[in-house]
Amino acid sequence: MTVQAASQSLIEDGPAGISRAVNRMIGGIIGYARWPAVPPSGTRRLCIIGQPRLAAPISQRLPGGYLVRAERMSAQAAMAGSRCDILFLGQLASSDRQRLIEWVRGRPILTLTDDDPRCLYGAMFCLAARGPGLSFSVNLDAVGRGPLRIDPRVLKIGGPEGGAR
């Protein structure tokens, strides 16, 4: 498994600062993704599974002008045809996480989590609060398994030189 990490956003004081940093980061990540059947300016359906550690609440209008329709649901509901463009995996049972990751393979669904800072369990992007900032890791193996395309510039951000800090 190939994982690269990058620090991207400083967290301002308090819970509202964490929420703003998470929304900036999610908006930035969405900006790197291209869905085969969704225009770049289209609304994305973001399905929140489990209990997020960092990502509550997710804004309906993310930085970069991306519109998302965020809603919480169970793993079973997501896999039962909910038409999620993005899965945000919070804390959830290992068996549910494993089923979701297996189910998403081959589908144009972006996977994010804030419950796997080392990005070991199959999500494409993993958010983590580290020191005064919020960082993300990219699981290149997970990115390469499906039809969703991630702009190669994300590799530069995840490389040893890092990106915007």
Which pLDDT does position 161 carry in this prediction? 42
* Tokens 């959830």 belong to residue: 92
- Over residues 55-71, the pLDDT tens digits come to 666 767 766 667 788 88
- C-alpha 157/C-alpha 55 separation (Å) is 21
- C-alpha 74/C-alpha 135 separation (Å) is 26
Q: Mean pLDDT lowest for which of 53-62, 75-84, 88-97, 101-110?
A: 53-62
Which pLDDT does position 13 carry in this prediction? 67
Beta bridge partner(s), residue 70: 46
